[in-house]
Structure 1
Amino acid sequence: MRLILMARRKADPGIDFSLNDLAVAAGLSKRVTQFLADNAAFEGLTQMQKLNVAAAVGGVSAANISPLLAMKLIKIVIRLETNANEIPSGFKFIGRNLPQDKIKTLIDADEYYIHRLLMECPEIYTQGVGRRGDFVVEIVNGELVFTGSKDLTSISNFDCQSREMHFSGWITNIERGSEPDFIHMANKFNLNDLCDDETGKFDPILAEHEQSMQLCRANAVSRLTLNLSLAVRNGFDRLHAFRFGERDIA
C-alpha cells in the first residue's frame, strides 16, 4: 500500500483540483506530479480531464512503468482510442442504479459529484472492483500495445483469442538509458488512405496486420493487463478519502 501524506483540506472545493489533489488521485508524490505537469500532462485539459488523466497515469505507473511513459500512453490512447477526451470510468453507468431521488440530481452532473453520491451507497458502488466493459490496455512482450473493452472474467482466464482487444501500437526505446515512447499504429498507417469512403471498410492490409499482431498476443511470453477504468475509479476513491477522510484506499 502506498501512503501519501498531505494536509487534508477543511472544505470540499468541488472540481477545483490542486496539484495535491491530482497527486493523491494518481497515488504519486507531489514532486512526480509536478514533473508530469511540467511535461504538459495536463495542458489544455478541463479540471475533470486532469483528474481522469492523473488517476489513469497513476494506475499505469503502479505496474512499474515510468510516469512519463504512462502519461504518453494515456494521452495518445485517450485521443485515438476513446470516443471522449478521457478514460471511461463507468460512473455514469453505475449511477443508473442509484435511488430515483438521487438520479434526478445527476442530469448533466460532473463525474466528481456522481462519485460523491455513489460513495453514499456502498450497496451499489463497491470500491476497488473491476467491472464488465472496463477499458483495458494490454502490453504484450513489453512492446506491443492492445486496447479494448473486455469482460474481466476472460482476462483472468487468459482468453488470448478474444477479438475484443485490438492492436494499437508499440512501446519503443524501453532499454535502460533511453527515453521510452508510445507509437500509435495511426502513425505508421495512413488510415484515411486505407479506408474505402463508400463502404467504410479498411484495406485488407490492415486485417492482415491485425491478424499477425493477434498471433503474437496469443503466443505471448508476457502480457501485462492494465484496467484503466478501474485505475480512474480508484483515483476518485483516493481523492474522496483525502478530502473527507472516510475510507483508506490502497
Structure 2
Amino acid sequence: MARPRKDSPPDRFTSTEMAVAAGITARSFGVLIENSLAPDTVEYAIGKQAARYWNSFGLGEAALIGAIHKSGAELLMSAKIAHLVIDEFVGPRGHLPSRLGDYLNRPLNPNPGRYPWAEDDPQDWLRIRDDFWLHHILRTRTDIYNIGKAMDGDLVMEIADRRYVFTDFAWSPERKLPRANPWGTTSASDPDWSLEIEGWERGKDAVVRPVHELIDISAMMDDPAAKEAARQREKQTLDARRNAVGLLRVNVSLAIRNAFDAVHEHRLASGSSFDWSAHSQPKPSRYSGSDANGDPLDINHHWYADLSPAERAKRRDEIEEYIAKRDMNDDEPGA
C-alpha cells in the first residue's frame, strides 16, 4: 500500500513498509493478512477517510515473523509462533525489548544524564517512549547507533527440534542473574520454557500451547505432587534443548532494530515525505515537556536518576510550582 499523503504521521507504517520490516515480499505479507496472521492494525484518519496502518508494536511483531521465517520456518508457522511468543512475553512486561533505550544510558550514551544528541526538542521526551521515534532520533541526530550489531541483554528465542520454544536474555556471563520458577527451580544459564508446538508439519494447523496450558500452576501452590510434576516437566524440556538435533535461534531485539533500519533506508530510497511535527503519541500529560530552562517536568525522567531524596523532593516542588504558574497564565484572558 502506497503512502497516500505527505502529512501522514511517520510513526505509522503501510503494508509495504511492514513487508520491508519483515524482510518478505509484499505478496507474502498479503498472505499473512489473508490468513489473519498479520499483526493487528491501527487506524489513522486521513481527511475524511481512515486508512489501515500499523504502529511500532506491530512492526516489532512483523520483525519477529520475518526473523523466524529467515531462520528456516514456513511463513504461516512463523507468524503463529511469533504471535504466541509475543502474547506470552509481552503480557507481564508490556513490550518487546528492542534495547534502543540502552543508548540513553551508560556506556552507550557519551553524555550520561543528558540525551546523547546535541540539541533537545521539547517533544523529545514524549516521542522517545515509542521505539520508532527513538530509533529515528538516534539515526538522524547522533553518530552512536550501531547498525546490525547484537547488544548485551538482547531478547533471544530458541526452538528445539521444532517443538520446545524458549526465551532468554543474552546477557554477558558476569551480568547473568538467576531466575525463579513457580515450581522452585532457579538457574542463571537455562532459558525460560515458553511454548510447545505439536504438529509443526501441519503448518498453520499446528497446535501451539503456552506453558500455563501445560502445567496447572494454581494446583502447585497446595499440592507437592503437582509441583514435582511441573519440575520434572521442565527438566524434560531443558534436556530436550541440550540434546536437540536442530536448534532454531532468533535474536528478537536485533530483528526489531534491523526492521526499523530497513524501513528507514526504504523511506530514504523511495523519497518518502512526512510532516515530522505529526505523531500518533498519546496526548501529553501535564508533566510532559520541560520548563523554561529545558529541564524535564517528569520527575521520573532519567536526568533525575542520581538525585538524592532531598534533591528529588526539591525538584518535585519546583516542577509543581512551574506547572501551577504555567496553568495560571494559560487561564488568563488573551493568553
- Give me the TM-score of the superposition, normalised by structure 2: 0.60
Q: Distance in 1 between matches of 2:173 and 2:121?
A: 30
- Kindly provide the amino acid, as one letter, of the partner of residue 228 in structure 2: P
Quick one: which of 141, 144, 147 aligns to 2:161? Answer: 141
- Kindly provide the amino acid, as one letter, of the partner of residue 26 in structure 1: A
- Find out whether 1:36 has 2:32 as its counterpart: yes
For residue 216 of structure 1, what is the aligned residue in structure 2?
A: 240
Q: Distance in 2 between matches of 1:29 and 1:224?
A: 22
How far does the alpha carbon of each residue in 1:42-97 deviate from its partner, in whole angstroms, 9 at most, with x for none?
23666222111111111111012122111111111111123445421111222442
For residue 27 of structure 1, what is the aligned residue in structure 2?
A: 23
- Find out whether 1:51 has 2:51 as its counterpart: no
For residue 182 of structure 1, what is the aligned residue in structure 2?
A: 208
In the TM superposition, what is the alpha-carbon distance from 1:103 to its structure 2 partner? 8.5
- Kindly provide the amino acid, as one letter, of the partner of residue 229 in structure 1: S
In the TM superposition, what is the alpha-carbon distance from 1:207 to its structure 2 partner? 2.3
In the TM superposition, what is the alpha-carbon distance from 1:148 to its structure 2 partner? 1.2
Q: Distance in 2 between matches of 1:74 and 1:93?
A: 24
Asked if the contact 1:146/1:168 (under 8 Å) is kept, the reply is yes
Q: Distance in 2 between matches of 1:220 and 1:182?
A: 19
Unmatched 5+ residue regions in structure 1? 1-5, 155-160, 197-201
In the TM superposition, what is the alpha-carbon distance from 1:33 to its structure 2 partner? 0.7
Q: Distance in 2 between matches of 1:177 and 1:67?
A: 9
Q: Distance in 1 between matches of 2:247 and 2:157?
A: 10
Quick one: which of 99, 113, 128 aligns to 2:148? Answer: 128
For residue 227 of structure 1, what is the aligned residue in structure 2?
A: 251
- Find out whether 1:99 has 2:95 as its counterpart: no
Q: Distance in 2 between matches of 1:189 and 1:181?
A: 16
Asked if the contact 1:146/1:167 (under 8 Å) is kept, the reply is yes
Q: Distance in 1 between matches of 2:255 and 2:86?
A: 14
Asked if the contact 2:20/2:259 (under 8 Å) is kept, the reply is yes
Q: Residue 157 of structure 2: SS of its match in structure 1?
A: strand
Q: Distance in 1 between matches of 2:19 and 2:173?
A: 31
How far does the alpha carbon of each residue in 1:91-136 deviate from its partner, in whole angstroms, 9 at most, with x for none?
1222442236449754232211110111136642111111111111
For residue 77 of structure 2, what is the aligned residue in structure 1?
A: 69
Using the TM superposition, name which of 165-174 and 176-185 deviates more: 176-185
In the TM superposition, what is the alpha-carbon distance from 1:209 to its structure 2 partner? 1.8
Tell me the percent identity. Answer: 27
Change (3 A) 1:211 1:27: same
Task: Please say which structure displays the higher CA radius of gyration.
Answer: 2
For residue 236 of structure 1, what is the aligned residue in structure 2?
A: 260
Q: Distance in 2 between matches of 1:206 and 1:177?
A: 28
Q: Distance in 2 between matches of 1:219 and 1:191?
A: 27
- Kindly provide the amino acid, as one letter, of the partner of residue 208 in structure 2: F
Unmatched 5+ residue regions in structure 2? 43-53, 110-115, 175-186, 271-335
Q: What RMSD in Å do the two structures reach over aligned CA positions?
A: 3.1
Quick one: which of 14, 19, 31 aligns to 2:10? Answer: 14
Q: Distance in 1 between matches of 2:146 and 2:172?
A: 16
Q: Distance in 2 between matches of 1:39 and 1:153?
A: 41
- Kindly provide the amino acid, as one letter, of the partner of residue 63 in structure 1: S
Higher RCO, 1 vs 2 (CA within 8 Å, ≥6 residues apart)? 1
How far does the alpha carbon of each residue in 1:5-57 deviate from its partner, in whole angstroms, 9 at most, with x for none?
x9899958411211111111111111111121233322366622211111111
- Count matched residues: 230
Asked if the contact 2:15/2:26 (under 8 Å) is kept, the reply is yes
- Kindly provide the amino acid, as one letter, of the partner of residue 42 in structure 1: P
Asked if the contact 1:135/1:147 (under 8 Å) is kept, the reply is yes
In the TM superposition, what is the alpha-carbon distance from 1:236 to its structure 2 partner? 0.6
